[in-house]
Structure 1
Amino acid sequence: MKQILIISDGKPGHRNQSLGLAEAIARRTSVEISEREPMGRFEALRLCLGGALPQLDDRPDLLIGAGHTTHLTLLALRKLYRAPAIVLMKPSIPMGFFDLCLVPEHDQPPRRPNIIVTDGALNRMLPGEKAPGSGVILIGGPSKHYRWDEAGVLNQVQALLESEQRDWLIGSSRRTPASTEQALSALCGDRFVPAAETGPDWLPQQLASAEVCWITEDSASMVYEALTAGCQVGVLPLRGNADNRIGKGIEQLATQGLVVRAPDWSMSGLAAAGVVFNEAERCAEEVLRREWL
C-alpha cells in the first residue's frame, strides 16, 4: 500500500492542514498515513548538502508538511526517499525546491506549474446533516491582523440574536479575553460555551450540523472551516491593521458571495445555495492527477 508521511511541527493548525490533504487523498485511493517530527536543522542540512544516506526500510511515496520548521526536513527526506514533497504554505526557501506548493491566494504566490493557489488554508472539515434552525456564533480575540473591539463585537452579537431567531450556540476561542467571555455569558446565558469547556471535537461537531455560522473576522481559519463544513457563513467585521493579508482573503470571499458581512443578518448577499467549497478535496484531485501515488 502507498505511504504518505506527514512532517508535523506539533502545531494544531499546521497538522490540521496536512491531515486535511492526506485524508482527502485517502478518500480517493488506498494509502496509509503516518507522521513524524522534523529533523534537527543541522541533520537536515547535512542530508540536503550531500551527507551519507542511511539504509532505508519503509519508503514513503509522498511527503507533506506545513510550518517553517518542516521545510528542511521535507527536502532532506525528498532526497533520501526520492519521494515528491508538498508544502502547504508559502515556504521560507525558494518554492522551486518543492514538487508542489499549496499557497493561499492572500499570500500572492506566483503562477507556476508547481504551485496551486488555494482559498485559505486546507482543513479536515466534512459537511454533515444540518439541523434545521441551527446556528453557531464563533468569537475570536486579539490578533496581529486586527484590533479587538469588545464593545463592537458584543453589539453585533446582540443585533444578530435579536434579528435572527435560531437555536444559537455561541463559542469563544483561546484568544478571547476574559472580559469578553464574561460579557457573552451575561448576554447569551447558557447558550454561551467558553473555550475552556470544549474539547478538540467540539468545533467540528458544531460546524458539521449547523446551518448558519457567524464568525469574528480575526478567526480566518474558522471561516474556511465553516465553508468546508457546508455552513452559510457570515463575518462580524473588525478593524484590520495595515497590510492585512487575512482581510484581503475574507474580502475576496465576500466578493464571490461565499460569505456575507454584518449587518446582512438575513444573508441575502450569499451566492445561490448548493455551492461546494472544499479546497482539500480539490487539491487532492490535483495531487492524484500527477500520478505520484
Structure 2
Amino acid sequence: MSDGRTGIQNQALGLAEAVARLTPADIAIKPVRWRPLFDRWPSGLKTPAMLAPGSFDPRVVTDWPDLWIATGRASLPLSAKVRDWSHGKTFTVQTQDPRWRNAAYDLIVAPAHDGLAGDNVFEIVGSPHRITPSKLAEAAPAFADRIDALPHPRVAVMIGGRSKAFDLPGVHAAALAEQIKAAVQAAKGSLLLTFSRRTPEAAKAVMTERLSALPGWIWDGDGDNPLFAMLDAADHILVTEDSANMATEAASTGKPVHILPMIPLKPAGKFARLHADLAVHGAARPFDGTLEPWTYAPLNETERAARAVLEAMAARG
C-alpha cells in the first residue's frame, strides 16, 4: 500500500517480497490516492469517500488480507483503521515513522536514524528495499550489451537532488563531476551513472557534459531502468548523501559505498546518523576522490525486518 511513487512503493513492496521469500504468500500492490481537494488534509480528517478513482477502497473489501504493509503519508488514514475494519484479522505494518497515531499499527518498521521508540517499533538500518543478489543478477542480461565490455573498476554513481535538507546546484554538481572523472580516470575504469527524479536539470546537464567522455553509460531516462544491472556490474558505488534509500540499497550489495557531499540546507541530522550506522557496518565512507576497495558483509536489513514481521504475527496468533 502506497501512493505509487517508486521510492515510496519499493519500501512496502521490498518488505512484502522479503516476507514471501520466507513463507508462501501472494502479494497484491494497491495504490492509495486521494482526490486533489483532500490530498493535503490532515490524516485524521480523511474518509474513504475522499479517495480518488482507482484507489484501494476499504468499503468494497470482502476478504481482508493476513498482512497489510504500507508506506507513506497517503496510506496512514487507512492503515490506522485496518484492525477495526478487518475485525482483527489483518496484521498491520507501517514502514517509516508515521508521526501520527503510532499505536494504531501492529508493527512499525522504522529507520534507526529516526530515533523512534515504542513497544511496536522494530528498528533497522536505513529503509526496506527490493534489492537482492538474485534480482541484480536477473537484471544484468538485458543490459549486457551496454555494460559487459566496460573496463574495471566499474563505478556506479547514483545522483539525487534537491530536498528539504540538501541541494545540488550546478556549480556543486560540476565540482562533483570533476572529482568523479578524476577518480575514474586514475583507476582506468568506467562509469555507470543514473539521476533521480529530483535531480535539477542544471545539475544533470553539467554532469553529463563533464562525464560523457569517460568509458561507460550515463542513463538519460529513456527505456527500462538499468539501475539493478549497474549495481550488479559495479565495483564501487557512489551515492549522494540526500537519500536514505539509495545508501541502504547500495550497502546491500557488499560493494564499497562512497558518500558524495551535497549543499546542506539544514543540519544533516538523521542522514548523518544513517551514514554513521553504515560506516560502523563497514559499508560506507565519505568520498575522498579515490577508489580504494574494501569488503564487508552485505547489509540485509529487509530480511531481518521480514523475520520480525512473521515472528510478531505468530506471537499474536
The TM-score, its normalising length taken from structure 2, stands at: 0.77
Find 1:254's aligned residue among 279, 292, 300.
279
Change (3 A) 1:115 1:164: same
The answer to whether residue 300 in structure 2 is matched with residue 278 in structure 1 is yes
Query: 216-225 or 79-88, which moves further after superposition?
Result: 216-225
Can you list the C-alpha shifts for 1:203-245, whole angstroms capped at 9, x where unaligned? 1221133221111222332111111233321111224232322
The answer to whether residue 290 in structure 2 is matched with residue 265 in structure 1 is yes
Find 1:161's aligned residue among 179, 184, 187.
184
Find 1:138's aligned residue among 158, 163, 170.
158
Change (3 A) 1:232 1:36: same
Find 1:84's aligned residue among 76, 88, 91.
91
Distance 1:68 1:135 in 2: 35
Query: 178-187 or 58-67, which moves further after superposition?
Result: 178-187
User: In the alignment, which residue of structure 1 is the partner of 2:78?
Assistant: 73
Distance 1:209 1:192 in 2: 12
SS at match of 1:32: coil
The answer to whether residue 27 in structure 2 is matched with residue 33 in structure 1 is yes
Distance 2:220 2:209 in 1: 16
Alignment of 1:192-211 (within 5 A): 192-199=217-224, 201-211=225-235
Alignment of 1:166-245 (within 5 A): 166-189=189-212, 191-199=216-224, 201-244=225-268, 245=270
Can you list the C-alpha shifts for 1:104-154, whole angstroms capped at 9, x where unaligned? 1221111x3311111111110112459763321222222221132223312
Superposed CA RMSD: 2.7
CA contact (8 A) 1:44 1:73 kept: no
Q: Which runs of 5+ in 1 are unaligned?
A: 1-6, 46-52
Query: 144-153 or 77-86, which moves further after superposition?
Result: 144-153
User: In the alignment, which residue of structure 1 is the partner of 2:66?
Assistant: 61
AA paired with 1:75?
A: A
| Shift, 1:255, TM fit | 4.0
Change (3 A) 1:210 1:44: farther
| Shift, 1:44, TM fit | 8.2
| Shift, 1:282, TM fit | 0.7
Change (3 A) 1:56 1:218: closer
Distance 1:162 1:173 in 2: 24
The TM-score, its normalising length taken from structure 1, stands at: 0.83
Identity, % of aligned pairs? 27
Change (3 A) 1:178 1:147: closer
Find 2:116's aligned residue among 104, 109, 119.
109
SS at match of 1:171: strand
User: In the alignment, which residue of structure 2 is the partner of 1:49?
Assistant: none
User: In the alignment, which residue of structure 2 is the partner of 1:121?
Assistant: 127
Distance 2:59 2:287 in 1: 57
CA contact (8 A) 2:96 2:109 kept: yes
Find 2:6's aligned residue among 3, 12, 19.
12
Query: 56-65 or 121-130, which moves further after superposition?
Result: 121-130
**When the two structures are aligned, how many residues end up with a matched partner?**
275
Distance 1:107 1:196 in 2: 32
AA paired with 1:182?
A: A
| Shift, 1:56, TM fit | 6.0
CA contact (8 A) 2:250 2:257 kept: yes
Change (3 A) 1:143 1:56: closer
SS at match of 1:205: helix
Q: Which runs of 5+ in 2 are unaligned?
A: 35-45, 51-57, 141-147
Can you list the C-alpha shifts for 1:23-61, whole angstroms capped at 9, x where unaligned? 00101110111132338622389xxxxxxx978632310
Query: 84-93 or 72-81, which moves further after superposition?
Result: 72-81
Distance 2:275 2:59 in 1: 46
CA contact (8 A) 1:146 1:218 kept: yes
SS at match of 2:27: strand
